[in-house]
Amino acid sequence: MQNVQNKLFRKVALDRLSSPEQLDQLMKITSPRAWLALIAIAILCAAGGLWAVFGSIPEEAQGNGVLVNDPTVDGLEGIIYVSLSDGAQLRPGMEVEVEVSTVKAETYGYIKAVVREVGEVPVTHQQVVDIAGTEEIANAIVPTGPAIEVRLELKRSQDTASGFEWTSKDGPPRKLSAGTPVVAIITVSEDRPISRVFPVFK
């Protein structure tokens, strides 16, 4: 008897689902708003996938230093100091952005530069003082522990008042002077996001 009742209930349920009214109700469950949400999720997933494959995550090193006179070009160069671990990663030609302490970075941006030379041995404190000019500045720009000296070639431009290329169009409306403290951000490498998960894609 129980088996017969189950069959009857199953038949009634199938009959209801097969009726046009019930089919219409099922189709209304997925509203236009739900479809839009699904489409938005699909677009986000696709964008994330494209970024993972074609985007880049920069690995950076930072150093503090000063602007100094560069006798080879009758102008200025940057000298910064980095930790031993960062110094081991640096190579001549790497791109650098230099923030100048006397220039508003949010307004004028950073000087474009490249690594010119990386020291092979740690510098002494007196060597830093000789470059920085004062004990106070030397103590402020050298990281804790042994430091490597890095020389930066500042990219020059005849179209700016400072004589250098900036990440903004024109840079500050004045010349820069030796002895000015700077902070340099060096791009060590740029990896695709997917390579952080699957190293084979590096």
Q: Read out DSSP for 138-202?
A: HHHHSPSS-EEEEEEEEPB-TTSSSSB-BSSSS--SS---TT-EEEEEEEEEEE-HHHHH-GGG-
- The model's confidence at residue 175, banded by pLDDT at 50, 70 and 90, is very high
Q: How far apart are CA 109 and CA 138, in angstroms?
A: 25
The predicted pLDDT at position 32 comes to 74
Q: Where are the domains of the chain?
A: 2-54, 58-188
In angstroms, the Cα distances linking 141 to 27, 122, 130 are 68, 14, 13
Residue 123 has pLDDT above 60, yes or no: yes
Q: Tell me the mean pLDDT in the region 144-153.
A: 93
Q: Write out the CATH class of domain 58-188.
A: mainly beta
What count of other Cβ atoms lies within 10 Å of the Cβ of residue 151? 18
pLDDT tens digit string along 26-64? 455 567 777 777 777 877 776 666 654 555 566 889 999
Q: Is the pLDDT of residue 97 over 90?
A: yes
